[in-house]
Structure 1
Amino acid sequence: MTYGKVVKGTFLARPNRFIALVETGGQVETCHVKNTGRCRELLVQGAAVYLEESGNSKRKTRFDLIAVEKGERLINMDSQAPNKAAAEYLPTLLPGLTLLRPETAFGSSRFDFYAEAAGEKWFVEVKGVTLEEDGVVLFPDAPTERGVKHLHELCAALEAGYRAMALFIVQMADVAYFTPNARTHPAFALALREAQAKGVALHAVDCLVTPSSLTARRPVEIRLP
């Protein structure tokens, strides 16, 4: 997936989870943050960030904050990007894909994708991963009861005769492995392990990240606690 016009800036502050103050082009801009997660290890004062110009004159904010440099690593932190990257990558995971439909309801949940491939019917839930510690990537960066619910619903879909997949889009490149963040949310780590035991397919994939694009690239090892 690609963005439109992208400019570089310097992160100054995040008054709330929706906006950030960024210096770019010699002035301070109030930017929309396209990720409501904590991202405390990413949005630190002085960090280099990348902004997409919206082009919509009716918007209150001119820019969206989409990526950040963490040391030598460029990390995409746009929470809408993983689904777009996943849509481009799923034909690789599901050979013979004939149907890919976003936002499909099952039970009390709405999964990111419903797919049909090689005579099988799939529900796919996508999670974007931005938390990295010494090359290891983790999800979630904050407790997510919604994420636990999705895993339970994927198990229910299996029982109803569907195939099910949890796909983790790692929004950076060249990582060691993926693991659930049991320290931050042990219930999610437990639910992920139980989902795998019941037959939910687990996949993680890293991404080639540039200031103006995010492309799912290659599988990442998953280690469950």
Structure 2
Amino acid sequence: MLLPTDCQTGILLRRYKRFLADVRLADGQSLTVHCPNSGSMRGCSTPGSPVLISKSDNLRRKYPWTLEMVREQGVWIGVHTGRTNYLIREALENGVIGDFGPLSSIVPEVTVSAGSRLDFRLETESGGTVYLEVKNCSLAENGVALFPDAVTARGTKHLHELVRLAAAGYGAAVIFCVQRHDADRFAPAARIDPVCAETVAWAAGRGVRFLAYRAEVCPQAITVREKIPFCLSEYSRDCV
């Protein structure tokens, strides 16, 4: 996925109120930008870090600029969670993600129950239906990508929906899109949200598939490149 050509780099001054960040540009100007990430951004919101921001052509926006990525520990980290589904869809269409076999259709934003939607419904050429939820992962520690970076009741609710669909005979899966290249495997962040981690293990035992794919992140483009092992514990090498 190519990023807008008019992006600018700057230095992160602070991230606050969840959806705002102050950035200093090379000319010394300071901007308040939209931060499209509801998580804690642990490990990718340190003041003084280089950032990349993009400008919207929507004149009605209060904050025209958007935080796209942050550079920490020598790597660019994608923090714009609104781009994650596009990245995974692109990877599905290009065959980079082939875990579900050839696909005949990809339907986004599917309502599965009252007040609950999942990111995609995949129709396979073999005739099967797979419900897919996508999660953005920006946190990594000691080479392990971790999700979530804050307690997520919504994420746990999605897992219950997927278990219900798996019990009804449908395919059900979660893909974690790791938007940084310094992680060689993925695990649930049990220290941050033990309930979510326990629910992942419970759902895995009831037919929900868990996959992790790593993206190459740079100021010009973000591209899903490869599958990395999914582990039920960050301390275990027993991964799939």
TM-score tier, shorter chain, comes to over 0.9
CA distance in 1, matches of 2:16, 2:172: 39
Q: TM-score with structure 2 length normalisation?
A: 0.90
Superposition deviation, residue 104 in structure 1? 0.2
Amino acid at match of 2:144: V
Q: Deviations along 1:164-192, whole A, 9 cap, x unmatched? A: 01110001114121110111111111111
Match of residue 64 from structure 2: 62
Query: Which aligned segments of 4 or more residues in structure 1 are displaced greater than 3 angstroms?
Result: none
Match of residue 3 from structure 2: 3
Q: Where do 1:65-104 residues align within 5 Å?
A: 65-90=67-92, 91=95, 92-104=98-110
Identity of aligned pairs, percent?
Answer: 35
Alignment equivalent of 2:156, drawn from 130, 144, 148: 148
| Structure 2 alignment gaps of length 5 or more | 234-240
Alignment equivalent of 2:46, drawn from 44, 47, 50: 44
| Structure 1 alignment gaps of length 5 or more | none
Cα distance change of structure 1 residues 40 and 168 upon mapping to structure 2, 3 Å threshold:
closer
CA distance in 2, matches of 1:112, 1:15: 28
CA distance in 1, matches of 2:42, 2:180: 17
CA distance in 2, matches of 1:121, 1:9: 44
Alignment equivalent of 1:161, drawn from 163, 166, 169: 169
How many residues end up aligned between the 2 structures? 225
SS at match of 2:60: coil
CA RMSD of aligned residues (A): 1.3
CA distance in 2, matches of 1:63, 1:180: 32
SS at match of 1:80: helix
Superposition deviation, residue 56 in structure 1? 2.6
Q: Deviations along 1:194-221, whole A, 9 cap, x unmatched? A: 1111111110000011113211110111
Match of residue 31 from structure 1: 33
Q: Deviations along 1:32-86, whole A, 9 cap, x unmatched? A: 1111211142111110000011123332112100100012111000111111111
Q: Where do 1:169-188 residues align within 5 Å?
A: 169-188=177-196
Tell me, yes or no, if the aligned pair for 1:49 and 1:68 is still in contact at 8 Å. yes
Q: TM-score with structure 1 length normalisation?
A: 0.96
Amino acid at match of 1:39: M
Alignment equivalent of 2:133, drawn from 125, 129, 137: 125
SS at match of 1:93: coil
Tell me, yes or no, if the aligned pair for 2:215 and 2:226 is still in contact at 8 Å. yes
